[in-house]
Amino acid sequence: MDEVDAGAGADPARRGGRPHRRRGPDDLPIEEMGEALKERVYATFTGLAIVLVQHENADHITAGRATLTLLVGIVAITAAGFVADVISHLVVHADFPRGGELRRMLRVAGSALGSASIPLVILVLAVLGVFELKGALFAASIVYIATLALIGYVAVRRSRLAWWEQLVALGLLVLLGLAVVGLQQLAHGH
C-alpha cells in the first residue's frame, strides 16, 4: 500500500506528514490571528484608560501632550507584548526566536498599534485646532468603546451558543469590560 492510500484514513488535520493549520481570512494561521486580536484588545483597553484619564484632566494638558501620551502608551503596551512573547519563547524553547517565529512575534505585537490609529487621528486633529481637546478625547473614548463592543459582539455571534446564551455572554463581557476600565481608572486615582 502506498503512502497516499495509507494516509487516507489518517487524521484529516494532517496533510503530507505535517500538521495542517487552519488559515484565517488574511491567510495567516488562525492561532496567529487569535494572538493578534488578543494584543489589539489589550491595547484598546490601555488606550481607553489613557484617554479617559486625560479627559478628566483635559483642562490641564495640551492636545500635543495628550496625543504623545496616547502614542507612547500604545507603543509601550506593544513593546511589552513583544518582550513577553520573546521571554516565553526563551523559557519554553531555551533559545531566542529566529526567522519566521521572530517575524510572527513582530506581526502579532505590531497589530496592537492599529488599535490607536483612529483615536490618534482624532487627537492630531485637536492639535491642528479642528477639535477642542475635551471633545477629541471624548470621541477617542467612544471609538475605543465601540471597538471593544464590536469585538465582543462578533466573538459572541461566532459562538455556537443558543441566542439567550449569547445574550448572557455578551452581558458578561460588558460587565467584565466595565470592571477592567474601572480598575484602570482606580489605578490612575480617578
Task: Give domain status of residue 22, yes or no.
Answer: no
Amino acid at 1: M
**Residue 22 pLDDT level (bands cut at 50, 70, 90):** low
pLDDT average, residue stretch 160-186: 88
pLDDT at residue 164 is higher than 50: yes
More confident residue, 185 or 99: 99
The DSSP letter of residue 149 is H
Please report the pLDDT score of residue 190 as a whole number.
54
Please report the pLDDT score of residue 3 as a whole number.
42
pTM greater than 0.85: no
Task: Give domain status of residue 133, yes or no.
Answer: yes
Amino acid at 133: L
Task: Give domain status of residue 102, yes or no.
Answer: yes
Distances (CA, A) of 71 to 36, 90, 132: 19, 29, 19
Task: Give domain status of residue 70, yes or no.
Answer: yes
Work out the angle at residue 77's Cα, subtended by the Cα atoms of residues 76 and 82, and round it to the nearest 5 degrees: 95
More confident residue, 101 or 12: 101
pLDDT in tens, 100-143: 999 999 999 998 999 999 999 999 999 999 999 999 999 999 99
Domain count for the chain: 1
pLDDT average, residue stretch 11-17: 44
Cell of 190: 480617578
Residue 62, SS3 per DSSP: coil
Task: Give domain status of residue 166, yes or no.
Answer: yes
Task: Give domain status of residue 6, yes or no.
Answer: no
| Percentage of the chain exceeding pLDDT 90 | 60
**Long-range interactions of 127-130: CB distance < 8 A, separation 24+:** 127/63, 127/64, 127/67
Q: For the chain, give the number of residues.
A: 190
Task: Give domain status of residue 7, yes or no.
Answer: no
**What domain range includes position 87?**
27-187
Rounded-to-integer distance, Cα 184 and Cα 144, Å: 14
Task: Give domain status of residue 159, yes or no.
Answer: yes
pLDDT average, residue stretch 149-173: 90
pLDDT in tens, 55-102: 999 999 999 999 999 999 999 999 999 999 999 999 999 999 999 999
